Structure 1
Amino acid sequence: MGTVRDRIIAQLNAQFTPLALEVIDESHLHAGHAGARPEGETHFRVILTADAFRGTSRLERHRMVNDALAEELAGPVHALAVKADAPA
């Protein structure tokens, strides 16, 4: 099954075939805040570049990522920061 981070990476790779992908677990920055768990893996930052984002607005790109990660967002992930771009 792997870590939450591993599942996010696998899902984004499968959905978007990104040219660049970075998934950062920022849970340690939110210790003691709402939605944080002692074991972590609740707060993530995703930075990705994919052809799938060509011709889409920032809002559409965020929705696409949120849809791809719906299962994780419904469960272990409390917060997700997204920077999604099309290649230059």
Structure 2
Amino acid sequence: MDVQKTIEAKLSQAFDSQVMMIENESHKHNVPPNSESHFKVTLVSPAFLGQSKVKRHQAIYQVLAAELAAGVHALAMHPFTPEEWAAQNQSTPDSPNCLGGSKNDPGASFNKRADS
């Protein structure tokens, strides 16, 4: 089973979701072709009612702990209650394209020595 399908299966089992969208956004980042390392998760569930955004994110992180430990590098999360989703016009913000960050990028700040 590929990573995206695993994420979908685990979230489906863990949450009574009305809407679930899992998008592989790896192609927007500096990774090899066909990577499964960057995902955007939109999850609409009544289970989030009364929970802060932090608690919602923690709940998703807990379900996907194995995937995060095994190669999922980034997880953009958009958890909503059904009412919040309706107020959002049933849409999530677009994710930005990667700005670089490769260790081979001469402009990356982590590539510069403090004594230079």
TM-score by length of 1: 0.89
Q: Structure 1: how far apart are the matches of 2:5 and 2:11?
A: 10
Query: Which of 47, 55, 69 matches 2:50?
Result: 55
1:1-88 to 2 correspondence within 5 Å? 2-31=1-30, 36-88=31-83
* Identity score, percent: 39
Which protein has the larger Cα radius of gyration, Structure 1 or Structure 2?
Answer: 2
Structure having the higher strand fraction is 1
4+ long deviations beyond 2 Å: 36-39
1:31-59, Cα deviation, whole Å (9 max, x unpaired): 2xxxx344400000000101111100011
Q: Structure 1: how far apart are the matches of 2:77 and 2:26?
A: 15
Kept in 2: contact 1:4–1:76 (CA 8 A): no
RMSD of aligned residue pairs (Cα, Å): 1.0
SS of 1:72 mapped into structure 2: helix
Give the AA of the match of 2:13: A
In structure 1, list runs of 5 or more residues that go unmatched.
Answer: none
TM-superposed CA distance for 1:17, in Å, is 2.0
Kept in 1: contact 2:10–2:64 (CA 8 A): yes
TM-score by length of 2: 0.68
Q: Structure 2: how far apart are the matches of 1:11 and 1:64?
A: 12
> Which structure exhibits the higher relative contact order, with contacts defined as CA atoms closer than 8 Å and separated by 6 or more residues?
1
